């Protein structure tokens, strides 16, 4: 499985949030949050939807699904949205390709590669999932793609 290392500058995610837990093959309430976040595509004409999970690789988590926003966009905030600011961080980025129902299999593969490469998760930083807006409605197709960003410790052996 291919991956790349990326340093992401600080960013803000505005969206819908809920605590969740893995249940069976799929995590809830993640599908419902992605469904709600689709309204950003229609109302704000965004290019991407972003999912943020804290902590990464955990059975119990806090998930936000929405968009990255700049300060100008805050003027359009609705009261049911949450806002989260994250600092600059190094990530390892993997790509899931294929139907969304297979995302859990991609995670199983990427965690194996992650461990084999000796990466350590940076505590307190989010795991990020990014889907381009033009792929919404194609979740069941082979052309669906999601980039999965895993935060890594810059100095794992220090």
Per residue in 117-155, pLDDT (tens digit) is: 999 999 999 999 999 999 998 999 999 999 999 999 976
Task: Look at residue 24 in the predicted model and tell me its pLDDT.
Answer: 58
Q: Which residue has the higher pLDDT, 137 or 94?
A: 94
Strand bridging mode 11-23 / 127-132: unpaired
What pLDDT sits at residue 158? 45
Buried b (16+ CB within 10 A) or exposed e, 3-42: beeeebeebbbbbbbbebeeeeeebebbeebbebbeebbe
* Stronger pLDDT, 59 or 53, i.e. the higher one: 53
pLDDT of 150 reads 97
For residue 83, the cross-strand partners are 14
Query: How far is 88 from 15, CA to CA, in rounded Å?
Result: 20
Rounded Cα gap, residues 98 and 80, in angstroms: 32
Q: Does residue 93 have a pLDDT over 90?
A: yes
Of 44, 28, 38, 64, give the one whose Cα is nearest residue 131: 38
CA–CA separation, 7 and 23 (whole Å): 32
Cα atoms in the 13 Å half-sphere on the side-chain side of 139:
10
User: Minimum mean pLDDT among 11-25, 35-49, 73-87, 100-114: which range?
Assistant: 73-87
For residue 13, give both structure tokens: 């995610």
User: Whose CA is closest to 28, among 40, 19, 38?
Assistant: 19
Q: State how far the Cα of 6 lies from the Cα of 95, in Å rounded to an integer.
A: 13
């Amino acid at each position: 499985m291919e991956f790349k290392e990326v340093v992401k500058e600080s960013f803000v995610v505005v969206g819908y949030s809920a605590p969740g837990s893995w249940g069976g093959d799929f995590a809830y309430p993640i599908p419902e949050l992605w469904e709600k976040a689709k309204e950003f595509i229609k109302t704000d004409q965004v290019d991407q939807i972003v999912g943020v999970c804290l902590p990464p690789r955990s059975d119990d988590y806090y998930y936000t699904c929405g968009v990255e926003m700049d300060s100008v966009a805050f003027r359009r905030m609705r009261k049911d949205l949450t806002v989260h600011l994250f600092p600059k961080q190094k990530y390892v980025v993997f790509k899931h390709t294929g139907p969304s129902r297979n995302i859990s299999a991609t995670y199983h593969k990427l965690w194996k590669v992650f461990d084999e490469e000796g990466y350590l998760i940076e505590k307190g930083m989010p795991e990020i999932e990014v889907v381009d807006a033009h792929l919404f409605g194609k979740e069941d197709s082979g052309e669906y793609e999601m980039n999965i960003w895993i935060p890594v410790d810059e100095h794992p052996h220090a």
